[in-house]
Amino acid sequence: MVATAEIIAYPAAGAALDIEQVSHAFDIDGTELPVLSDVSIAVEPGEFVALLGPSGCGKSTLLRLVAGLEKPRAGSLREDESRITHPHPSRVVVFQDPTLFPWRTVWDNVALGLEAQGILKSQRSRVDAALELVGLSAFRNAYPHQLSGGMAQRVALARALVNDPKILILDEPLGKLDSLTRITMQAELVSLWQRKGFTTLLVTHDAEEALVLANRVIVFSERPARVKADIRVDRPHPRHRGDPYLADLRRQILGLLGLDATW
């Protein structure tokens, strides 16, 4: 557990995130497809925010804007008062597909960020620590095709965490995992977030997952996405899945998503 202590020794408190009146659209064959419509969300440092919405409404697009991979057509995004214009390792994304680089070993995949920033030589121990954190030290020399889906997603998580992000952006990272692995990784995610204090933005299609993990659940409308509801989840971690308070919120959220309330 020395390794875990070491990673904590780099304090990476979360950053505030301000999404202000953001609208975005794509051009498809000359016609404009509006995807985000006047979205404003203010996220406090260290908050865990879950984003829920119908499939194809624009959640991933919003995350790409937060990451700086694309620029919004209107509105602005700020990380701690500075405008987001480009990707930066203080905001790291974990995508639904682990997207590991198949020609790199697990260790080299995790080392990618530090290598790209030119600080790998002096900080190799951070890679070891991140691998330890997700429990994959034994697989450091394996290639991605030798890993199971859950392990690959863990590597992707380690690859993000090794950069000590101020904002961790998760785009349905557990979507493809089996339910057991999913529950384990949800618990790991919460404990990581509690220990390290980064701000978390999680897109999920699972209302229960959102409620078990987040402080705040934001529900989007159909495309173009607008904020439909902003719900606080006032329950300490670890949360109990059968908690009637959460069940009540869940019913409310599913209702907002247009699903029968008897679910």
Q: Which stretch, 1-9, 54-62, 101-109, 146-154, contacts ligand ADP (CB under 6 A)?
A: 54-62
Which of ligand ADP, Mg ion, other proteins, none binds 5 (CB below 5-8 Å, type-dependent)? none
> At its nearest, how many Å lie between other proteins and the CB of residue 37?
24
97 binds other proteins (CB under 8 A): yes
CA 88/CA 84 separation, integer angstroms: 9
Here's the x/- map for ligand ADP, 29-48, by CB under 6 A: it reads as ----x-x-------------
Q: Which residues contact 2 (CB under 8 A, 6 or more apart)?
A: none
99 binds other proteins (CB under 8 A): yes
The residue among 60 and 90 lying less far from Mg ion, judged by its C-beta, is 60
Kindly state the number of chain residues that form the binding site for ligand ADP, as judged by CB under 6 A: 13
The residue among 23 and 60 lying less far from Mg ion, judged by its C-beta, is 60
60 binds Mg ion (CB under 5 A): yes
For residue 153 the two structure tokens come to: 């997603």
Which of other proteins, Mg ion, ligand ADP, none binds 56 (CB below 5-8 Å, type-dependent)? ligand ADP
Gyration radius of the chain over CA positions: 18
> At its nearest, how many Å lie between other proteins and the CB of residue 103?
5
Ranked by CB distance to ligand ADP, the top (closest) residue is 60
Which of other proteins, ligand ADP, Mg ion, none binds 58 (CB below 5-8 Å, type-dependent)? ligand ADP
Label residue 112 exposed, middle or buried (CB < 10 Å: 0-12, 13-18, 19+): middle
115 binds other proteins (CB under 8 A): yes
Partners of residue 229 on adjacent β-strands: 219
For residue 242 the two structure tokens come to: 């059968």
CA 158/CA 219 separation, integer angstroms: 28
CB-CB neighbours of 219 under 10 Å: 24
At 90, phi and psi to the nearest 5?
-75, -15
Q: Which stretch, 31-39, 92-100, 175-183, 247-255, contacts other proteins (CB under 8 A)?
A: 92-100
| Residues in touch with ligand ADP (CB under 6 A) | 26, 28, 33, 35, 53, 55-61, 223
Q: Which residues bind to other proteins, rule: CB under 8 A?
A: 64, 67-69, 87-89, 91-93, 95, 97, 99, 101-105, 112-113, 115-117, 143-145, 159, 163
Interface residues with Mg ion (CB under 5 A) are: 60
